[in-house]
Amino acid sequence: MAEDAAAPHVLLICYPGQGHINPMLRLAKRLATKGLLVTCCSSSIVRDKLAAASGVSAGGAGVPVGRGRLRFDFLDDPFDGTELDLHDFLHHLETSGPPALAALLRRQAEAGRPVACVVGNPFLPWATDVAADAGVPAAVLWVQSCAVFSIYYHFANGLVKFPREGDDARLAIPGLPDLSAADVPSFLHASHPYKVLGDTVQGQFRNMARASWVLVNSFAELERDTLAALPGVTPRPPRLIPVGPLVELGVGGQEEGDDGAGAAMRGDLISAAEECVAWLDTQAPRSVVYASVGSIVMLSAEAVAEMAHGLAAAGQPFLWVVRPDTRPLLPEGFILDGAAAAAGGRGMVVPWSPQDRVLAHPAVACFLTHCGWNSTLETVAAGVPVVAFPQWGDQCTDAKFLVDDLRMGVHLRAPLRREGVREAVDAVVAGPEADAMRANARAWSATARATVALGGSSDLHVQAFVDEVSRRARGWQAEAPAV
C-alpha cells in the first residue's frame, strides 16, 4: 500500500442481530489490522448499544487497530416508536435501507473518505444493489457455513429434490454427507414459522453475481470437500473465499498486528457478566458445563425447567446463560443470591457472557449449545466438546457436522428431558468416548488457530482481499481529475 496515499475505505453493513454483528466486527478488526480504514454500519436501532459496547462513538474518526482504523456509522432509518415484528422489521429495512445506505455512501465521499468497497450481508441483499448503483465494488460476507451455502444454493436453483419433513429420503449434494430432512436448514421447510428469513437469505442469490467477492466465515481446512465440490456445480456458484473463523481467540491468542485496541472492542448488545470469568477461576480444570442457546432462541417454560433440573442432576458445576426475557421461566427457588448462584451454589446463572473468554477458560469441560454458526466456530477454535441442542435454521446442519463429521460431541434430542441433559453431559465429560471427543476438539482448535495466524490460509485470503481493494482504489485515484 502506498504510504503517501490515504488508506482505502471499506464499509461493512450487517443485519442488526447479535449473530451478524459479531462476525462483522471481527472481520472489520482484521481488515483494519492490515491497514484499511473500516466503517462498521447497521440500522440505527442498534446505534447506542453498539457504540456503548465497542467504546467507539458513532460518526467519529474511530480508533486505531493495527495499521488501520475502525469506526462506526449508521443508517438514517428512523423508527416511529412502533414495535415491529420480524416480518415488518425486514420490510422496514428493505424499504428504508437502500436510500439510507446510498446517503451514507455520499456522506463518506463528502467527508473525504470515499468508500472503495461495500461488504454486505445475506439478510440485506439490497446492499449489493446499492453499491453497484453507486459504482462501488461489493463483497458479501456469508455468516454461515460453506455447507449451508451449498444447501441454499442447490435449493434456490432447483438442483436437487429436497426431502419433506417426516420422509426417510436422504439429500445427496456433492461435497456433503447424506442429509436427512432434519439436517437441512429448517427455513427450507414449509412448517417453519420464520420462513421469511429463508426467503430473505435466498434473495441474496438473485443478485450474488453483482458482488466481486463472497467472503465466508469459515476456513478451508474445516470444509475442504464442500469448497472443492462447489466449482463443479451448474450453474456455477460464486467462489467462496474463507476468511474465518471470525472469532476472538481469547487468552494467549492475540493475532498478528493486534496491539490490544481491537481485542478490547466488543459488540455485545446485552451487557456481559464479566464476573463469571472470576467464578470460573475458582473451579477445577475441565469441570464446568457451559450452557447457552444464544441471543434469539426462545425455549418454552417446560424446556427451561427441564434444562435447569438436568444441569442440576448432572453433578457438574455449570455456567448457564439465561437471558432476561427467559429468566422468569426458571423454576422457583432455582436461583440463589440474585443471579449469582443456582442449584445449591454449584452453578452460576448470568444474563449474557463474554463467550470467547468463557470457552477459552481451562475450567470449561463442555458447551451445551444451540449450534449457531458463531458459537460453533467459537467452540471449534477453543477446542471444547459439545452437547448439540439445535432449534432451527442452520443450527440443525451445524449440529450434524459437529457431532457426526468433526466427532467432538453428542446430540441432545428433542423433546428436552432432564434425564437427556444429564446423560448427554455425562457422555461428553466422562463417558467412554469423552477422551476421543476432547482430542478431536483440541486438534480442530489447533487447525483453526493456525489458519488465522500470519501466513495461515484464511489470513492469506484476507490479505489478498485487502491487496485487491487497495489496487482498485489506487486505480480510481489515478483516474480522478485533479481538483
Catalytic pick among 9, 20, 411, 461: 20
**Spatial CA neighbour of 424 closest among 377, 376, 365, 368:** 368
Torsion sign, CA atoms 350, 356, 362, 368: positive
Task: Report the distance separating Cα 459 and Cα 249, nearest Å.
Answer: 14
Strand ordering across the sheet containing 347-350: 335-336, 341-342, 347-350, 318-321, 288-292, 364-369, 386-388, 409-411
Task: Report the distance separating Cα 138 and Cα 305, nearest Å.
Answer: 46
State the Cα angle at 387 between 384 and 392, rounded to 5°.
115
**Spatial CA neighbour of 40 closest among 4, 5, 68:** 68
Number of other CB atoms surrounding residue 319 within 10 Å: 26
Number of other CB atoms surrounding residue 418 within 10 Å: 17
Q: Which three cell numbers stand for residue 406?
A: 468433526
Task: Report the distance separating Cα 342 and Cα 288, nearest Å.
Answer: 13
Identify whether 192 is a catalytic site residue.
Answer: no
Task: Report the distance separating Cα 254 and Cα 30, nearest Å.
Answer: 12
List the alpha helices (DSSP H) in 255-360. 275-281, 301-313, 355-359
Calculate the CA 45 to chain-centre distance: 19
Q: Residue 96 phi/psi, 5° resolution?
A: -90, -25
Task: Report the distance separating Cα 356 and Cα 344, nearest Å.
Answer: 27
Number of other CB atoms surrounding residue 257 within 10 Å: 17
Active site residues: 20
